[in-house]
Structure 1
Amino acid sequence: MTHKNPLPHNNKQSQLVMAARRDQELREQSYRGQALKMYPWVCGRCTREFTHKNLAELTVHHRNHNHDDNPADGSNWELLCLYCHDNEHSRYEETRFAGVQSRKPSTPTVTHNPFADLKSLLNAKK
């Protein structure tokens, strides 16, 4: 009885994932490098200034939230510090979530009132 070795499939899958991650890192380095050459090293929100020493804390934010939209002129990028970048994405997610919430049907109207006849019940006990 022969068994197929699952390793080649897993190995091929692992290679695919590693290649995709490597390509993504190269893309990110590419647009990050371009943005850092193009724009002053200042956060676009809080105006914190950066040097080579703390440059790792300056990120490239995609204005339209599409990380694959990287025009050579940098029109979809802005430099944001880690904190402002995180805040921007939190606000974006809250906006998206609120949009989903508003599309839900309204809560059902309550038609039963357990206290409707309370006054007559209290009067009956007197």
Structure 2
Amino acid sequence: MAVSNDKSAKVDRILAEQREYIAKREGGYREKSLKMYPWICGRCTREFTRANLRELTVHHRDHNHDNNPSDGSNWELLCVYCHDEEHTKFENMVRYGSTTAKDIPPATFNPFADLKAKMEKGNS
């Protein structure tokens, strides 16, 4: 009997922890954004259902995960692939600078410009 009561108490404790975890998550920004926005990727427009909802993520537009206004103005729903691409673009901008194209002038130096003259000078 004591073993049965111990198992029952353990199951009750695990269920209580699970309920608390679910309640905490529902108060989180992911759940708020999923209730606020349609389940569509903001980049590729892929649509999601409950079956594949785990592949839809919340992207923080300013890349600050602590900036979670209740109106959702800093959130964007993106699929895992587009979310990864957004973070890659941001990392590249931080690492390499602006992502705008720069006009690089063509090279004008020609190391062989007077090669013929140099070769004739060497033969004399």
3-state secondary structure, aligned to 1:61: strand
Equivalent residue for 1:50, pick from 42, 48, 65: 48
Match of 1:85 in 2: 83
TM-score where L is the length of structure 1: 0.59
1:68 is matched with 66
Instruction: Tell me how large the CA RMSD over aligned residues is.
Output: 2.8
Which digits, 9 at most, give the CA deviation of each residue in 1:98-124, with x for residues without a partner?
A: 228xxxxxxxxxxxx8x9898346423
What is the TM-score with the length of structure 2 in the denominator? Answer: 0.59
**AA of the residue aligned to 1:37:** K
Structure 2, unmatched stretches of 5+, are 1-23, 99-110
The match for 1:59 is: 57
The structure that has the greater radius of gyration is: 2
SS state at 1:42 partner: coil
d(CA) in 2 for partners of 1:123 and 1:28? 84
User: Does residue 1:99 correspond to 2:97, yes or no?
Assistant: yes
Deviations 1:41-66 (A, max 9, x none): 11111111100100010000000110
SS class of match (2:97) = helix
How many residues end up aligned between the 2 structures? 88
Unaligned runs of 5+ in 1: 1-25, 101-112
Aligned counterpart, 1:19? none
1:28 & 1:91 partners in 2: Cα distance?
30
Match of 1:125 in 2: 123
Match of 1:36, as an amino acid? L
Offset of residue 93 of structure 1: 1.5
* 116-125 or 74-83: bigger deviation: 116-125
